[in-house]
Every structure is written in C-alpha cells, then in structure tokens.
Structure 1
C-alpha cells in the first residue's frame, strides 16, 4: 500500500479493503447498516413466497441478497469489500427479523466473497461504454450466484436431489442474477452521478 500525504489530504492506493480511505469506510458502514435492515425484511418475504411457491421463489428473490455485495464492490473496487460488507451486515439483518437464523452468517460471507471473486475476474474495473459495463455486471451476477448456490447446496443438502433439478435451479438462478448484477451497476451509476459514492482513486 502506498500512502501519499499532502497538506490536507491522504490518498491510499491498494487493491484490498485494507487500503480503503476514510470516506470509503464511511460508505461501507452505510451499506452495512442499510443492506442488513432491508435484507432482514426481504428474508421474511422470501420465506413466505417459498412456503407458497416452493424453491422456485428462491431463484427469483435470492438474487436481491447478492445485490448488496455487488453494489459494495462496484462502488469501492477492492478485494474484500463485498465480503466485509455482507458479513458485518448480518447482525442488522438478524435483528430486522430474517427467519433463516445463524446460518445467515455463512450465507452472507460467501455471497460477499462471491462478489469479490466474480468482479476480481475483471480486475475490479468496468470497460469503457455502457453496454460493456452492463455485460460485465451481468457476468459478475451470474458467477456470484453460482458460488452462492454451491454453498446453499452443501448446507441445505440440495445436491441429494436429482442432477437435472440442480442444473435447472443453478441455470435459473444464474440467469436471474444477471439482472441483479446489471441492477447493481445501474444503482451504482446513479449514486455516482449524485456523488454519493466515494470517488475512484
């Protein structure tokens, strides 16, 4: 990590969350609190819809959980941001009433790690042009969902189901998560235009 000090500013450069500056940390704290509270309520919605419509509801609504990790790492393009934001948001999520219990710690960790790893494929950068950026965001969403599905599959014993059932579920989840990745990029772009997101280094 390189630190450049001036008369009024300190600029930190690095590719991990450890090199974040003060404004970036403030932004992460805001996402941690906001996402945790919202996901707590969303977990209740998902629980009810799963009871009514079965596992199909998971593939559609589950993408909103990984949305927050992607928004975090799109905003602050450093490895570990997604993992940190998602994991530390867990107490807020549980306090807000997420019905899935303490396993949320595990799910959030890997959903955040999935965002870090998926965006890391592109070296935490978007290409020039909106179409290319949306494509990258969509791929990040799909890869993130597949990583998350592996964790769900192991913890919930989903892989005991027929192979075709898992393949359909994984493909559907990845397809839907392309939208969530693009949606995260859209929200990031909006926040960037109003200067809510910390400026890039």
Structure 2
C-alpha cells in the first residue's frame, strides 16, 4: 500500500472542502432547475457532484484517493447544510466506490482522460445503485431508470471526468502542483521521451 505524504493529505482535504462547497451551491441550484425541467431533465447537472474523485485521483495517484475525496466532499456538503441531508453523504460513499473502481481496474497505473471519464461514469452507476436501495425498485419505471442512468453517465463523464482534467491541467500550468505525483510522472515521461529522441 502506498503511503500518503502529509502534503497529499492536506491537498486532498483542501480540494474536498472546495468541492463540497461547490456541491452545496450546485444542490441549491438544482432545486429551481429540477422544478423547471423535472428531476430527469436536471440529471445533466449530475457530473459536478462527482468531480472531487477524478480531480484528487489525477493529482495524487494513490489507491483510495478517488473514494476518500468523494466521501470527504459529500461530508462537507452535508455539514454545510445540504437540503439533501444525510443522503448527500450516503450517495457520496456509493459515488466514491464507483469512481475508485475505474482507477483500480488499471491497477492505479492509468490516469488519462479515458480513465477520468470512466471514473465519472462509474460514479453515476454507483449513484443509481444508491437511489435504487434508498427508494426501492418500484420507484422508477424501466424507461425513467435507463433515461436517468444514461443522462447521469454522460454528465459524469463530461462534467466529472473531462472537466476535472481541464481544471487540473490548468492548475498544473500555474506551478502549484509541482510537488505531486501528476507532475513527477509528467517530468519522468518528458525525460524518457527526451532521452529517446536524443539517442
């Protein structure tokens, strides 16, 4: 098991708190939007609620990073007064497990756009599993269930995975992530490529 350095723990906490506050604002925004377009239509907003996992996992690249980030962000959302109440935290656990599986499949070796988007998709599946447990199988008609799942998966891939990569890559350009695995691996790749091209 790879141990976490203190700076990684601190960064994960800071990012989880920031994401948790964003989740709370997004939850508040969800109320009028779902009133306008219905809860199924509002499913396009889903991806933001799972962005903590790919952001933290992409930077830190350690087993457990995606799960811890999502649960911590969900806890912050709950503690800052989410109208979803305790379910905000519980769904975060299921989303975190889903997101973590995407990185585990590749043995925590691949952190490219595909894996980040897969993380968002699996988090959406985790979320729907929680909804089925919480609401019961009779809550959705077959059509509504698959429509909702489809919208959530697409949103998780785009607003979760893709947006996470865009945000982290932009942060990396500022130099604030120099000490983290993301940049260490990037430098390692550049050295290898430079060495190969210089041969």
Q: With structure 2 as the length reference, what TM-score do the two structures score? A: 0.80
Matched residues in 2 for 1:52 and 1:142: separation? 25
Structure 2 residue runs of 5 or longer lacking an equivalent are 185-199
- Partner-residue secondary structure (3-state), 2:51: helix
Of the three residues 166, 169, 193, the one matched with 1:186 is: 166
**Closer/same/farther in 2, CA of residues 135 and 82 from structure 1, 3 Å limit:** closer
Cα drift, residue 95 of structure 1: 4.1
Normalized per residue, which structure has more helix?
2
Structure 1 residue runs of 5 or longer lacking an equivalent are 2-13, 128-132
- Partner-residue secondary structure (3-state), 1:54: helix
Root mean square deviation of aligned Cα? 2.1
Tell me what 1:123 maps to.
107
Tell me what 1:25 maps to.
9
Contact 2:19 2:51 in 1 (8 A): no
Q: With structure 1 as the length reference, what TM-score do the two structures score? A: 0.79
Question: What is the 5 A alignment of 1:93-104?
Answer: 93-104=77-88
The answer on 1:156 being equivalent to 2:135 is: yes
Cα drift, residue 27 of structure 1: 0.4
Contact 1:152 1:158 in 2 (8 A): no
- Partner-residue secondary structure (3-state), 1:62: helix
Tell me what 2:180 maps to.
199
**Closer/same/farther in 2, CA of residues 42 and 121 from structure 1, 3 Å limit:** same
Matched residues in 1 for 2:142 and 2:61: separation? 36
